[in-house]
């Protein structure tokens, strides 16, 4: 193991991690240095992590019994390149580092600022579905319980959830960040000590850039746009749900527009786009958590009276609500399209176990791919990015990307929902649909630590998918190698116009 790491180190020019980090820390050239750092780090830059067994780029993979020498060679080349290529991370919910250091791990849930945070998103859902009581679950995330006592609360369920994608992402984070191989009564104190040691100023750069080798993230911070203090690392989407669902009238406040009619509300939406579209990478809607994405074209005239009812806080019939949402959805989507912003839509599986509203309406989610094809047909000039491969209906998403020039599929979150399905999806996608329309990674996390685990799982899955395609003779080794940069990095840079965004964002002073 050590030998191969040393060899890799030599092969990639022997860059020292520390010198790269120091280079990167120069504030004036923050962005450029981050990119060159990632390049310079090569396969070995973050050798403590990327060369490690949990990360997946390890010696056994290249020397496994039963492999032919061709297979070994292909495996080695593919794994090395996948592990040296920087990700563009197309979807996160990360708060700014300063907020996290103040104890706010995300906007909508405040929990204890201890090691339980790394379980808080998404493993907390597996903790309920495994059968943990609500009482114990609440205690586990409570600031009133000693961090070292929390093992007792989780010990009976841990063996059954540590192997899910959510569990594996957390295990990798504990191993790589805190040096803990196995969570137990013996190691829980070490996990907490590691948590405190890592969670310090600069830990976003360390985890995201140095260890997970992420060049930039795309953050969904809720409705509207967030002026982040880390604009080139935490690039932002414009959240459009509140513009059409409800709609959320509070979104009118910052605009200064007095909303008395639907036309005024259009002005509110215009304000958000006029002010922030040039800085945003995309627009994002997770409205599929409330309904299907079957938005029809509804004229202003048809929607006007319904909106006025909404303003008077009169209840709307389901049909009226849908018509209003449909009208405003297209208003916002047309704005995004005018401003050159892709439209990211949640599809498929639901996050978060909710005791008050337990829901996973698969019959509705199964309708997402069909509705997605309608959207692509209705607005050919809009670029739709369908997120999360619409798990578990991912086969259908491949056919959408194959057929519609304006359909893109984003694998964000998918690697930890079901790592094997995600690998299966990628294999099938690459031999079916155009390779310029696939995005392969988004951590989709609020806490930053498990992004590291998710990135490792994704790299392992991408490398395995390509290796298997070569072994099964669907792709040549050269063909597989050529795909690595586009699917991990280049596609996202071009779809979201990142060259131009970086230039603009490196000049803003927010936060
Ligand atoms: Zn998300």
Q: Tokens 């596609």 map to which residue?
A: 491
Output the pLDDT for position 39. 43
Q: How far is the CA of 293 from the centre of ligand 1 (A)?
A: 16
Q: How far is the CA of 423 from the centre of ligand 1 (A)?
A: 20
Q: How far is the CA of 412 from the centre of ligand 1 (A)?
A: 8
Q: Tokens 């290529």 map to which residue?
A: 85
Nearest to 146 by CA among 103, 171, 114: 114
Q: How far is the CA of 341 from the centre of ligand 1 (A)?
A: 18
Query: Is-contact 270 335, C-beta < 8 A?
Result: yes
3-class DSSP state of 408: strand
Q: How far is the CA of 275 from the centre of ligand 1 (A)?
A: 24
Domain ranges, ordered by start, for the chain: 2-83, 114-198, 212-505
Q: How far is the CA of 496 from the centre of ligand 1 (A)?
A: 17
CA atoms within 13 A on the CB side of 187: 14
Q: How far is the CA of 388 from the centre of ligand 1 (A)?
A: 9
Q: Tokens 């959408």 map to which residue?
A: 400
Query: Is-contact 83 460, C-beta < 8 A?
Result: no
Output the pLDDT for position 71. 82
Q: How far is the CA of 65 from the centre of ligand 1 (A)?
A: 40
Q: How far is the CA of 91 from the centre of ligand 1 (A)?
A: 6
CA atoms within 13 A on the CB side of 128: 17
Q: How far is the CA of 427 from the centre of ligand 1 (A)?
A: 23
Nearest to 497 by CA among 275, 241, 235, 228: 235
User: Distance of alpha carbon 279 from its chain centroid, rounded?
Assistant: 19
Residues recorded for the chain: 511
Q: How far is the CA of 346 from the centre of ligand 1 (A)?
A: 8
Query: Cα dist. 82→13, 463, 466, 476, 484 in Å?
Result: 17, 6, 10, 16, 6
Q: How far is the CA of 414 from the centre of ligand 1 (A)?
A: 11
Pairing of strands 407-410, 384-387: parallel
Q: How far is the CA of 444 from the centre of ligand 1 (A)?
A: 5
Q: How far is the CA of 337 from the centre of ligand 1 (A)?
A: 22
Q: How far is the CA of 283 from the centre of ligand 1 (A)?
A: 13
Q: How far is the CA of 497 from the centre of ligand 1 (A)?
A: 21
Each residue's pLDDT, cut to its tens digit, for the chain (511 residues) gives: 333 333 333 333 322 222 333 333 344 344 444 554 444 333 333 444 555 656 666 666 666 666 777 788 899 999 999 999 999 999 999 999 999 998 776 654 668 999 999 999 899 999 999 999 999 999 999 999 999 999 999 999 999 999 999 999 999 999 999 999 999 999 999 999 999 999 999 999 999 999 999 999 999 998 999 999 999 999 999 999 999 998 899 999 999 999 999 999 999 999 999 999 999 999 999 999 999 999 999 999 999 999 999 999 999 999 999 999 999 999 999 999 999 999 999 999 998 878 887 789 999 999 999 999 999 999 999 999 999 999 999 999 999 999 999 999 999 999 999 999 999 999 999 999 999 999 999 999 999 999 999 999 999 999 999 999 999 999 999 999 999 999 999 999 999 999 999 999 999 988 7
Q: How far is the CA of 448 from the centre of ligand 1 (A)?
A: 13
| Dihedral, 348, 353, 357, 363 alpha carbons, nearest 10 | 30
Q: How far is the CA of 236 from the centre of ligand 1 (A)?
A: 13
C-alpha 12/C-alpha 8 separation (Å) is: 6
Q: How far is the CA of 374 from the centre of ligand 1 (A)?
A: 23
CATH superfamily of 212-505: Metal-dependent hydrolases (3.20.20.140)
Angle at 201 between CA 284 and CA 488, to 5 degrees: 40
- Per DSSP, the residues of 462-501 read HHHHHHHHHHTTSS-HHHHHHHHHIIIIIHHHHHTTHHHH
Q: How far is the CA of 58 from the centre of ligand 1 (A)?
A: 31
Q: How far is the CA of 446 from the centre of ligand 1 (A)?
A: 9
Please tell me the pTM assigned to this model. 0.89
3-class DSSP state of 43: coil
Q: How far is the CA of 343 from the centre of ligand 1 (A)?
A: 14
Output the pLDDT for position 194. 98
Q: How far is the CA of 347 from the centre of ligand 1 (A)?
A: 10
Q: How far is the CA of 98 from the centre of ligand 1 (A)?
A: 21
């Amino acid at each position: 193991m050590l030998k191969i790491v040393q060899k890799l180190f030599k092969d990639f020019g022997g860059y020292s991690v520390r010198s790269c980090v120091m280079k990167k820390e120069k504030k004036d050239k923050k962005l450029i240095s981050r990119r060159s750092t990632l390049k310079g780090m090569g396969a070995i830059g973050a050798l403590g992590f990327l060369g490690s067994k949990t990360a997946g780029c390890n010696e056994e993979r290249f020397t496994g019994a039963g492999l032919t020498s061709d297979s070994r060679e292909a495996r080695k080349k593919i794994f090395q390149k996948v592990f040296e290529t920087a990700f563009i991370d197309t979807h996160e919910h990360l708060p700014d580092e300063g907020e996290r250091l103040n104890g706010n791990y995300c906007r909508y849930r405040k929990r204890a600022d201890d090691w339980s945070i790394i379980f808080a998103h998404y493993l907390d859902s597996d903790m309920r579905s495994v059968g943990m009581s609500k009482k114990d679950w609440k205690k586990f995330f409570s600031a009133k319980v000693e961090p070292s006592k929390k093992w007792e609360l989780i010990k009976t369920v841990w063996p059954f959830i540590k192997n899910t994608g959510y569990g594996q992402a957390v295990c990798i984070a504990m191993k790589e960040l805190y040096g803990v191989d196995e969570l137990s009564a013996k190691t829980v104190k070490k996990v907490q000590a590691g948590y405190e040691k890592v969670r310090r100023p600069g830990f976003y750069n360390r985890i995201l850039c140095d260890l997970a080798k992420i060049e930039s993230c795309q953050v969904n911070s809720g409705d509207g746009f967030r002026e982040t203090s880390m604009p080139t690392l935490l690039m932002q989407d414009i959240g459009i749900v509140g513009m059409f669902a409800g709609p959320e009238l509070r979104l009118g406040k910052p605009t200064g527009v007095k909303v008395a009619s639907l036309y005024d509300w259009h002005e509110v939406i215009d304000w958000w786009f006029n002010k922030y579209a040039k800085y945003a990478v995309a627009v994002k809607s997770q409205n599929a958590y409330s309904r299907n994405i079957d938005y029809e074209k509804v004229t202003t005239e048809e929607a006007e009276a319904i909106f006025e009812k909404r303003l008077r806080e009169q209840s709307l019939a389901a049909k009226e609500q849908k018509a209003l949402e449909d009208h405003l959805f297209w208003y916002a989507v047309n704005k995004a399209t005018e401003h050159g912003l892709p439209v990211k839509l949640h599809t498929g599986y639901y996050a978060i176990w909710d005791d008050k509203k337990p829901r996973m309406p698969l019959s509705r989610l199964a309708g997402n791919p069909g509705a997605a094809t309608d959207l692509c047909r209705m607005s050919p000039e809009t670029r739709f990015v369908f997120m999360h491969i619409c798990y578990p209906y991912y086969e259908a998403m491949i056919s959408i990307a194959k057929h519609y020039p304006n359909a893109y599929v984003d694998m964000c979150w998918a690697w930890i929902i079901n790592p094997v399905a995600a690998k299966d999806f990628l294999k099938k996608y690459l031999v079916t649909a155009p390779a310029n329309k696939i995005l392969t990674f988004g951590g989709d996390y609020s806490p930053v630590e498990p992004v590291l685990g998710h990135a490792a799982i994704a790299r392992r899955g991408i490398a395995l998918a390509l290796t298997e395609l070569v072994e099964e003779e669907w792709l040549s080794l050269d063909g597989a190698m050529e795909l690595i940069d586009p699917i991990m990095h280049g596609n996202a840079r071009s779809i979201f116009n990142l060259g131009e965004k970086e230039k603009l964002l490196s000049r803003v002073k927010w936060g």
